[in-house]
């Protein structure tokens, strides 16, 4: 085995493209100088495109969870009533954050592995007219579900003025996101997933409507007070020392996404999902989600007759191939394959091929090549634009 070779197919952090790695190795610059301002000036409009918004997207140093916390602390006050839609471990995280701030939480929980139905959310909300914000997860990484975020706001608006706050950590940048058209008030994502960067940056899109609520909130905390970021971003700077190396990397990652074309980036992710799903279906190994609810960025596999954790160990030992295990109540019951960011159909074919060997070595009786062939067929059918 090559000493420093590994195949990272977890749903984040994801592999870093060499040109992004090189960009991040640039010598440090002064964070209050012109070069940093120029960098931010160049990044601002490009992030807006990825988020599908006319509003500036805030850039904060922190992990994805601090983005969720920023949304909570800025948009909601202690004792406010909110609705959190829980479709897995990350929806549950919103509940924990809200509770930590003394916010009153109504939980609408959906069976893990399924997406929520916006009409049901609307009907549920009728009972709670005081709810001031609805929290949802775009891609629920723990189950591989992509929720119908594009339909959420219009359903909610029929019965409520609540803000729509979305965790897009594990998919924005890899799937279509139209904050303004869809009526999303706050959208959060992190750098270590579809943006092809290490962890450490988070991006927060905020609607005009949400800014009004945030501006009138008397207690927005300190570091995560988004009004500070808005004021400084307006002047092409940041309130605190930015993670400059990551900004160098972001500049290059955005350039890569632009060169490929955002529509093609999204098409590539859909194609990779279909390839992975076709492979497991051909191998007759169950998937946790149905086709309609499946995420373009992560696929959860639910083995029935072999042990998910043992299998993960086998492929790691054999090839240093990492896939993720299940979280929380799905621990030991599923494994999850990340196919986002710096990941191509070629990577998917290689991963599936290694997985088939791992399955054989885990004692599963499969016909070698059957899954790979199914994925190859999808590629030949639908992969025209991938070159
Ligand atoms: C959907 C989602 N939300 C939030 C997070 C938390 O991000 P972080 O671990 O960077 O705090 C993750 C991380 O996997 C995620 O997938």
Name the average pLDDT for the chain: 97
204 CA → ligand 1 middle, Å:
14
15 CA → ligand 1 middle, Å:
16
Q: How far apart are the first and last CA of the chain?
A: 30
* pLDDT of 387 strictly over 60: no
What pLDDT is stored for residue 177 in this prediction?
98
Q: Token digits for 122?
A: 């609307």
Dist. CA 327–CA 176, nearest whole Å: 26
What CATH code would you report for 7-14+261-386?
Answer: 3.90.1150.10
Q: Is the CB of 64 under 6 A from ligand 1?
A: yes
Give 335-364 pLDDT, tens digit per residue.
Answer: 999 999 999 999 999 999 999 999 999 999
Give 29-84 pLDDT, tens digit per residue.
Answer: 999 999 999 999 999 999 999 999 999 999 999 999 999 999 999 999 999 999 99
Place 1 in a pLDDT band, splitting at 50, 70 and 90.
Answer: confident
Q: Token digits for 319?
A: 């090839």
69 CA → ligand 1 middle, Å:
11
- Shortest-distance atom of ligand 1 to CA 192: 10
Average the pLDDT over 105-118 and give the result: 98
Map out the domains of the chain as residue ranges. Answer: 7-14+261-386, 19-258
* pLDDT of 385 strictly over 80: no
Single pTM value for the model: 0.98
What pLDDT is stored for residue 105 in this prediction?
98
Half-sphere exposure of 115 (CA within 13 A, CB side): 21
Average the pLDDT over 278-286 and give the result: 98
Dihedral over Cα of 145, 151, 152, 153: its sign: positive
- 346 secondary structure, DSSP code: H
Beta pairing class for 335-338 and 298-301: antiparallel
Dist. CA 216–CA 74, nearest whole Å: 10
What pLDDT is stored for residue 384 in this prediction?
77
What pLDDT is stored for residue 108 in this prediction?
98
* pLDDT of 283 strictly over 60: yes
Place 101 in a pLDDT band, splitting at 50, 70 and 90.
Answer: very high
Helix axes 345-361, 370-382, angle to 10 degrees: 170
166 CA → ligand 1 middle, Å:
12
* pLDDT of 386 strictly over 70: no
Please provide the DSSP assignment of 203-216 as one string: EEEE-HHHHHHHHT
Q: Is the CB of 137 under 6 A from ligand 1?
A: yes
Dist. CA 196–CA 364, nearest whole Å: 34
Q: Is the CB of 183 under 6 A from ligand 1?
A: no
Place 163 in a pLDDT band, splitting at 50, 70 and 90.
Answer: very high
- Which residue has a Cα nearest atom 2 of ligand 1? 169
CATH 1.10.357.10 fits 19-258, yes or no: no
Share above pLDDT 90 across residues of the chain, in percent, rounded to a whole number = 98
Average the pLDDT over 234-255 and give the result: 98
- Closest by CA position to 260, among listed 327, 331, 187, 343: 343
Dihedral over Cα of 69, 75, 77, 80: its sign: negative
- Shortest-distance atom of ligand 1 to CA 202: 10
Average the pLDDT over 315-332 and give the result: 97
Contact (CB, 8 A) for 170 and 298: yes
- Which residue has a Cα nearest atom 7 of ligand 1? 64
Cα angle 39, 233, 82 (rounded to 5 degrees) comes to 130
Dist. CA 60–CA 95, nearest whole Å: 22
Cis peptide before 13 (omega within 30 of 0): yes
Dist. CA 257–CA 212, nearest whole Å: 32
**Could you tell me where the DSSP H helices lie in the chain?**
18-24, 34-51, 64-75, 89-100, 118-125, 149-157, 179-182, 208-215, 226-234, 244-260, 262-282, 308-319, 345-361, 370-382
385 CA → ligand 1 middle, Å:
30
């Amino acid at each position: 085995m090559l000493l420093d070779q590994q195949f990272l197919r977890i749903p984040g952090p994801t592999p870093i493209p060499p040109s992004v790695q090189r960009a991040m190795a640039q010598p440090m610059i002064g964070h209050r100088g012109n070069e940093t301002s120029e960098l931010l000036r160049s990044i601002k409009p490009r992030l807006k495109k990825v988020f599908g918004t006319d509003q500036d997207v805030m850039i904060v140093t922190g992990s994805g969870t601090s983005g969720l916390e920023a949304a909570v602390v800025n948009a909601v006050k202690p004792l406010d009533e909110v609705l959190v839609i829980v479709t897995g471990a990350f929806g549950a995280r919103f509940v924990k954050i809200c509770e930590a701030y003394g916010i009153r939480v109504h939980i609408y929980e959906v069976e893990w592995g399924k997406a929520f139905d916006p009409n049901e959310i609307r009907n549920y909300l009728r009972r709670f007219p005081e709810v001031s914000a609805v929290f949802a997860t775009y891609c629920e990484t723990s189950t591989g579900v992509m929720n119908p975020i594009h339909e959420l706001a219009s359903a909610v608006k029929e019965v409520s003025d609540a803000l729509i706050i979305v965790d897009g950590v594990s998919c924005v940048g890899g799937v279509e996101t139209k904050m303004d058209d869809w009526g999303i008030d706050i959208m959060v994502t992190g750098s270590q997933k579809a943006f092809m960067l290490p962890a450490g940056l988070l991006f927060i899109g905020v609607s005009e409507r949400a800014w009004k609520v945030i501006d009138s909130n008397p207690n927005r905390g300190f570091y995560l007070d988004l009004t500070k970021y808005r004021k400084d971003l307006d002047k092409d700077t940041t309130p605190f020392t930015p993670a400059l190396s990551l900004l160098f990397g972001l500049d290059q990652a955005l350039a890569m996404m632009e060169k490929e074309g955002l529509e093609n980036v999204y098409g590539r992710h859909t194609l990779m999902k279909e390839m992975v799903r076709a492979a497991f279906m051909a191998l007759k190994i169950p998937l946790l989600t149905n086709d309609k609810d499946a995420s373009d960025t992560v696929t959860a596999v639910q083995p029935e007759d072999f042990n998910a954790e043992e299998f993960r160990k086998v492929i790691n030992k054999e090839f240093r191939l990492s896939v993720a295990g299940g979280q929380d109540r799905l621990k030991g019951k599923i494994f999850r394959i990340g196919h986002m960011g710096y990941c191509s159909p070629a990577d998917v074919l290689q991963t599936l091929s290694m997985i088939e060997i791992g399955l054989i070595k885990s004692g599963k009786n499969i016909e070698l090549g059957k899954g790979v062939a199914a994925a190859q067929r999808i590629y030949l059918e639908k992969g025209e634009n991938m070159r």
